[in-house]
Amino acid sequence: MKPQYKHELMTSFLLWFDHELLQEGEAYSNKTGQLYSKSDSRIPDSYSAFQSNYKQWVSDSSVTGPTNPVIPTEFNGNSRSNDFIFDFENGRIIETGGATISTDITGTFAVKDFNVYLTNETEEDLILENKFQINSRYGDLSMSGIDPYDQVVPAIFLNSEYMRNEGFAFGGEDLTKNIIKAVVISDSEYQLDGALSIFADAARKTFSKIPFSDHPSTEYGDVKGGTYNYLNLSNSHSSEIPYFIEDVTVSKFSERAQSRLPGNLKVGFIDFDVSTSRFPRS
């Protein structure tokens, strides 16, 4: 099946959301650390993966702050030109064959304060299953290890279950309304409040439609062409009708509900009412 309206909405929203959080909240920190050899059955046998202690890394070069995020382009002289892939999604590099690898790879990279994921899981599964590792807590991977595709918190999970077309104008134009729900899982009240505050202020903002073909990531989590700049990508689609964030509601778990949760995670919710005008029957 070719990508449909909802696919495009969710990927466009994810890119905007990630940029907004990083830029408005300066929600990243630069880390220097070792990368550890880590097997991965999903990549070809001839490839070798080297995992950092953190995921996800920042790849968006349009994010600026008092200290700009470090977006790595090489580790110990190993770069894309030496057949390396930078997997920003999983916080690792992948050697694709040919290079002689030192097992002692170190480097500097920017780590997101909140990982951002699209999910189809229900809120109760996300929150009550207590299945996440915490980004700032898991230690030496060579000792403890974490699987490459595990989701870690602090994280924000995005999901959209509601969509409705309402008549908008003569000629078959509809207003398509969606509700996008974000579950924020954090290990600190301060971080949780920060994320909720940033997105409460996002009401009445717009974000660009980014077609699937222009999605910046490759299948291995690297960025196409070696660089990714959200603002440039967004501006290149500014002639299209954008998505409009009509309203945003934020909420934290009530104190009573919080006390019933497993572990010490702090939970909040952000509900976005998003609309755009389109011709769904043409």
128 binds other proteins (CB under 8 A): yes
161 binds other proteins (CB under 8 A): yes
Whole-number Å distance between alpha carbons of 280 and 249: 27
> β-strands 115-118, 155-169: how paired?
parallel
Find residue 133's DSSP bridge partners: 152
2 binds other proteins (CB under 8 A): no
Cα angle value 85/89/90 (rounded, 5°):
80
Between 7 and 131, name the residue whose CB sits nearer to other proteins: 131
Chain residues 231-250 in contact with other proteins, contact rule CB under 8 A = 249-250
Q: Which of 97, 125, 189, 277 binds other proteins (CB under 8 A)?
A: 125
264 binds other proteins (CB under 8 A): no
Residue range at the interface with other proteins (CB under 8 A); choices 19-27, 117-125, 136-144, 215-223 = 117-125
Residue range at the interface with other proteins (CB under 8 A); choices 27-35, 56-64, 80-88, 260-268 = 260-268
Whole-number Å distance between alpha carbons of 85 and 42: 15
Q: Which two tokens stand for residue 259?
A: 């006390």
- Least distance (Å) between residue 113 CB and other proteins: 22
Between 47 and 269, name the residue whose CB sits nearer to other proteins: 269
Between 31 and 181, name the residue whose CB sits nearer to other proteins: 181
Q: Which two tokens stand for residue 136?
A: 């700032």
Q: Convert 166-194 to b/e letters by CB count within 10 Å (16 or more is b).
A: eeeeeeeebbbebbbbbbbbbbeeebbbb
- Least distance (Å) between residue 135 CB and other proteins: 23
DSSP state of 8: H
The answer, yes or no, to whether the previous bond of 72 is cis (omega within 30 of 0) is: no
Whose structure tokens read 């070069």?
61
Between 150 and 161, name the residue whose CB sits nearer to other proteins: 161
> β-strands 84-87, 115-118: how paired?
unpaired
Chain residues 171-200 in contact with other proteins, contact rule CB under 8 A = 179, 181
Residues near other proteins, by CB under 8 A: 122-125, 127-130, 161-162, 179, 181, 249-254, 256-257, 260-262, 269, 271
